[in-house]
Amino acid sequence: MPETSGSLPDADGYDYVIRAIQHLDMAHGIHFFIGSRDFDVLYRWWEKRIPLSIIRSAIDRVVERRRRRGKPIATFGHFSYEVRKSYQAFLNLRIGEAALLPLRPPADARSEFLAHLPEALEGLREEFARLQRERLSGKAADPESMFAALLRQFQGDEELRRKSEFFLNQLAPEWRKPEMERRFRMNFLIHRFHIPIEDIL
């Protein structure tokens, strides 16, 4: 992606970038200004379809090493070598994506989530149940109405407002777009309530 492009191709790209940034923040309390070079690094990972599980593990290892040595993290470029090495090992061993998932069947995760739905999400029970029915029937589940309802329900949430504002202020101005904010809010809520989105969709 050229540095001047200023956009990601679709919502999946936004989600991927946001989840990598969120992991660094939520797991390690590290945040810094995200400029064009950082987005180039993140976009290349997304373009290669490197699983986020590999990205998270690589980030964890690099953060641990650099903290032991007293070196700060100020760019996603610090993770490039570890991600490349880990992804190459993944390809060489022909480890499938399914091998990185929990051993229990996905249907169990969906059923457990619905059985123990957080009280704050009770108004969305039918949306989650609809997605489960669609998935189990073999249809392609369409989560957009659930995402819209989720965002509407928490549009006045103060913590979400503060986190979104903080996240956007980390980004270079050309990346502070309404869709980026929307995807951040959605991913933040998915993380807050442990919504098993991969199992629901």
Cβ contact 129:114 at 8 Å: yes
What is the structure's pLDDT at 105? Answer: 46
HEC string of 40-52 equals: HHHHHHHHCCCCH
Considering only the C-alpha atoms of the chain, give the largest distance between any 2 of them, rounded to a whole number of Å: 52
What is the structure's pLDDT at 117? Answer: 87
Write out the two tokens for 36: 């064009």
Is the pLDDT score of 5 beyond 80?
A: no
Using one digit for the tens of pLDDT, what is the confidence trace for 147-195? Answer: 889 999 999 999 999 999 999 988 888 888 898 899 899 989 988 888 8
Exposed/middle/buried for residue 194 (C-beta within 10 Å: 0-12, 13-18, 19+) = exposed
Amino acid at 93: L
What is the structure's pLDDT at 104? Answer: 46
What is the structure's pLDDT at 198? Answer: 65
What is the structure's pLDDT at 3? Answer: 39
Is the pLDDT score of 201 beyond 90?
A: no
Cβ contact 121:129 at 8 Å: no
Using one digit for the tens of pLDDT, what is the confidence trace for 41-57? Answer: 998 899 888 999 999 99
With 0.85 as the threshold, say if the pTM is over it: no
Indicate the average pLDDT of the chain: 82
Is the pLDDT score of 1 beyond 50?
A: no
Write out the two tokens for 61: 């290892």
- Which has the higher per-residue pLDDT, 30 or 107? 30
- Measured distance between the N- and C-terminal CA atoms of the chain, rounded to whole angstroms: 28
CA distances from 22 to 71, 101, 131, 140, 196 (A): 21, 20, 25, 27, 16
What is the structure's pLDDT at 65? Answer: 95
Amino acid at 13: G
Domain boundaries, the chain: 7-101, 102-201
β partners of residue 171: 34
HEC string of 116-127 equals: CCCHHHHHHHHH
